[in-house]
Structure 1
C-alpha cells in the first residue's frame, strides 16, 4: 500500500506548551463538551443566514461557471460540492466545501468513505480546475459552511474543525479545544493566517477561556473582531 504524504499546510497546529497547560489548567480538566451559550447560538444563526443569502448569487455564478467549464474541458467536469468527515464539538459531521480539483485527482475509494485524504491533491496546481483556483484564492470553498452553522454542526467563530485523522492527532498531542466547543468557520488563531502566529494553540485556548468567563456581550465582541479579521483575510485574496 502506498504511503500517503500529508501536506504540511493541512495541519499546522502544534501541541500545547507547558505555559498553556498551566495558564489554562481548568480547560484541560473539563471532561464534557460545553453547551453553546444561547446568545451566541442566536448570533451564529442570524449571521450565517445573512451571509448565506449574501453569498447566494456567488453560488449561482459558481454553479454556472462550473457547468460551463465542464462542457468546455471534459476532464474538469464534476459536481460543485463535496464533503469529507470532520470533527466539531467532539462529534463527526459532514464538512461540505466547494470542489477545487479535477475528478481524476480524487481517490474514489477514500471519497466514498468521506476521508479527507481523497482530496489531498488539492495542493497540486495542475490538479485545480479554473473555477477551483479562483474559489481557493478568495476562500469561497468555505461558503457551504454557512449552511452547517445554520444546521448546528458548527459555529461562526471557534477552533477550526479538523478532518477525523487530524482531530485524533490533535487530541493525541494534548489539545482539547475541538472536543469542548463547536468548530468555527473562523478561528481566533486561524484569522492570523499569513503571520508567524498562525497555528499556535494559544489562541484556541484563550477563546475557550473567554467562552467560559466572558459575558455574552464580551464574547460577542470577540466574535465580531474575529469576523472582521476574517473578512480582511478574504479580501486580500491570499488563499492557496
Structure 2
C-alpha cells in the first residue's frame, strides 16, 4: 500500500517508453537451493533472446553459463527509465513481494541464477544458499561492483553467512537506506 503510488508511476513510465511487460521475472536460487521467481521492474528493452539464467533440457550448466549475459555498467540494453530506477533502486521494489512470500529476506546474499552455480566451488554454493537471499547485502554495500571481481563478492557473501548477527543485519539496512537516498551506485 505504501509504495502503490510509486509502483503505478513507474509502471506507466515503463510502458510508455518501451514495449514489453512492466515486470521482469527470472528464476533465482534461494535458501536450500530452492528455485523461485524474482520480481523486478523491467529496466531493459524487452528481448526475445532467452537470458533466463536457467539450464534448459539438453544443455550442460557450463553451456548455459556461456550463453547467460549479466548486466554490465552502461549496458546499452538499459532504457532511460531503467537508468533512473536502477540509480535509486526502484527496480528492486517488487522484490518486497518475494520477501512477503518468504522467498527472500531484506538482507542476505543477492540471489543468483541457476547457471551461476559454476562460478562457485561446491562448498561456497552450498554455504551461500544456507540463508535466504536478500534485496540488499554486505557485498553490495561494501565495495562497488565495478572495482572488484566476482571472487570478492563471493567472499563477502560467505563472510555474511558465517558472521550473521542482528547488528550486522540492521547495519546493512541502514547503510542501504543511505545509498538509496543518495542515489549511489553499488
When the two structures are aligned, how many residues end up with a matched partner? 173
Whole-angstrom distance in 2 between the partners of 1:161 and 1:110: 16
Describe how 1:1-240 pairs up with structure 2 within 5 A: 53-69=1-17, 76-89=18-31, 90-103=33-46, 106-111=47-52, 120=70, 125-172=75-122, 174-194=124-144, 199-211=152-164, 219-239=165-185
Deviation track 1:59-104 (CA, whole Å, cap 9, x = no partner) reads 11101222333xxxxxx2221101111111111111111111112x
Structure 1 residue 223, shift from structure 2 partner: 1.2
Unaligned runs of 5+ in 2: 57-64
- Greater mean alpha carbon deviation, residues 91-100 or residues 106-115: 106-115
Whether contact under 8 Å (1:101, 1:121) holds in the other structure is no
> TM-score, structure 2 length as denominator?
0.76
More helix by share: 1
| Counterpart residue number, 1:36 | none
Unaligned runs of 5+ in 1: 1-52, 70-75, 212-218
